[in-house]
Every structure is written in structure tokens, then in C-alpha cells.
């Protein structure tokens, strides 16, 4: 089959150019439409992110105020715990000293005098004591050490250096360290 074209070649080329132009315009329009669609989607995504950021910021502000309240409550709790511990300690030790002094005075021989008594509280109702005293004779010191050692409430009885002095009335000064803990009966 032979094809015969009666139209001039310029018209054919013009028609082909028009078709190419239309196809190019359609392609550009499609690309433009896709670009606009992508742009619209990005704008929607960014707006969504901004809304989420705003909501998250509001939630963060709300939580920060709650965190500040919790921190204030924890600080108050710590202060109250400290006060409670001090009160508990005072309540636990309030009767220890009178009982301790009563017991040590019962064990003290008549010819020994306190120069000083230093105590230090420890855990579980224990108390370390350092006693500086004067005695008229060494037998009184021995009686005191024996009495403290035989009593169950006193332990770790250690005597320090004993010095004797005085011309008219000779007396001995000594140091005694021990631990006191009231035993439950």
C-alpha cells in the first residue's frame, strides 16, 4: 500500500509541532500539578507539625509546673523527715541519760568524785562514755572497775593512766572509757 499525502509538508510539520506543543504543555501541566500537590502536602505536614509542637509545648509547660510542685513537695518532705528523725532520736534518748546516771551513781564508791563525764550517742541505744574522776585511794578505782565490768549494761571498760598527787590529801586522778547499753530484761 502506498500512502499519498496531498497536503503540503509545511502543514504537516505545523500540525506535528502543534501536537508536540500540546503534549509538552500537558507534560508541563502534569509536572506543575504534581509539584503543587507535593507542595500542598508539605505545607499540610508542616502545619500539622506546628500544631503538634504547640500541643507538646503546652503539655510540657503543664508538666513543668507539676514537676516544680513535686520538687517543692520533696524538699518539704525531706525537711519533715529530718525533723521527724530528730524528734524520734530525742524520744529514744530522753530516758537513757537519767537511767544511765542513776545506774552509774549506784555503782560509784563513796570516795570517788567526777571531774567530767562525756557521752556520745550511737546507734541502737548505745552510748560511749569517758569519765575523768578523782579517788582517795586505788581500791576505790578497782571497786568501780569491778562494778562496771560485772554489770551487764556496761561493756568495754578501759582504764587510762592513773596519776597520784597532793601532799596533804593524796588523791588519784584517772580516766575511764566504757560503753553503756541498757539490756532488756
Beta partners for residue 174, in sequence order? 133
Average confidence (pLDDT) over 34-47? 96
Percentage of residues in the chain having pLDDT higher than 90: 57
How many CB atoms within 10 Å of residue 142? 13
**168 and 106 in one domain?**
yes
- Residue 126 included in any domain: yes
| Burial of 145 (C-beta count, 10 Å sphere; 0-12/13-18/19+) | middle
CB-based contacts of 154, cutoff 8 Å, min separation 6:
148, 178, 179, 180
How many CB atoms within 10 Å of residue 103? 16
Percentage of residues in the chain having pLDDT higher than 70: 94
- Residue 2 included in any domain: no
Q: Domain end: 93, 113, 137, which one?
A: 93
**What is the distance of C-alpha 180 from the center of its chain?**
33
CA–CA gap between residue 65 and residue 78 (Å, rounded): 20
CA–CA gap between residue 129 and residue 177 (Å, rounded): 6
Average confidence (pLDDT) over 55-80? 94
* 168 secondary structure, DSSP code: S
Average confidence (pLDDT) over 123-134? 87
**40 and 76 in one domain?**
yes
Q: 114 with 131: CB under 8 angstroms?
A: yes
Lowest mean pLDDT among 55-59, 91-95, 147-151, 160-164: 91-95
pLDDT, tens digit (0-9, with 9 covering 90-100), for 86-118: 888 777 667 778 888 898 899 999 899 999 999
- Residue 1 included in any domain: no
> Which pLDDT belongs to residue 182?
78
- Residue 33 included in any domain: yes
Q: With 80 as the cut, is the pLDDT of residue 56 above it?
A: yes
> Which pLDDT belongs to residue 118?
92
> Which pLDDT belongs to residue 5?
66
Q: Domain end: 41, 58, 93, which one?
A: 93
CATH number at 102 reads 3.30.1360.100
Average confidence (pLDDT) over 119-142? 87
**48 and 36 in one domain?**
yes
Give the DSSP per-residue string, 27-89: HHHHHHHHHHHHHHHHHHHHHHHHHHHHHHHHHHHHHHHHHHHHHHHHHHHHHHHHHHHHHHH
Residue-range definition of the domain harbouring residue 101: 95-180
Q: With 60 as the cut, is the pLDDT of residue 185 above it?
A: no
Q: CA-CA-CA-CA torsion for 40, 45, 50, 51, nearest 10 degrees?
A: 100
The SS3 call for residue 177 is strand
**112 and 140 in one domain?**
yes
**111 and 40 in one domain?**
no
**154 and 141 in one domain?**
yes
> Which pLDDT belongs to residue 22?
92
Domain total of the chain: 2
Average confidence (pLDDT) over 50-56? 95
> Which pLDDT belongs to residue 8?
75
Amino acid at each position: 500500500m502506498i500512502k499519498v499525502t496531498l497536503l503540503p509538508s509545511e502543514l504537516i510539520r505545523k500540525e506535528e509541532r502543534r501536537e508536540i506543543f500540546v503534549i509538552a504543555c500537558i507534560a508541563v501541566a502534569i509536572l506543575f500539578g504534581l509539584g503543587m500537590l507535593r507542595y500542598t502536602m508539605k505545607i499540610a505536614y508542616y502545619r500539622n507539625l506546628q500544631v503538634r509542637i504547640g500541643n507538646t509545648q503546652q503539655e510540657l509547660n503543664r508538666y513543668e509546673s507539676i514537676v516544680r510542685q513535686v520538687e517543692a513537695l520533696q524538699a518539704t518532705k525531706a525537711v519533715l523527715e529530718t525533723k521527724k528523725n530528730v524528734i524520734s532520736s530525742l524520744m529514744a534518748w530522753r530516758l537513757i541519760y537519767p537511767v544511765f546516771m542513776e545506774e552509774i551513781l549506784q555503782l560509784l564508791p563513796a570516795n570517788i568524785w567526777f571531774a567530767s563525764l562525756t557521752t556520745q550517742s550511737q546507734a541502737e541505744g548505745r552510748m560511749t562514755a569517758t569519765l575523768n574522776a578523782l579517788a582517795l585511794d586505788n581500791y576505790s578505782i578497782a571497786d568501780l572497775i569491778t562494778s562496771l565490768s560485772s554489770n551487764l549494761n556496761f561493756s568495754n571498760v578501759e582504764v587510762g593512766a592513773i596519776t597520784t598527787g597532793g601532799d596533804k590529801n593524796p588523791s588519784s586522778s584517772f580516766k575511764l572509757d566504757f560503753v553503756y547499753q541498757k539490756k532488756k530484761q
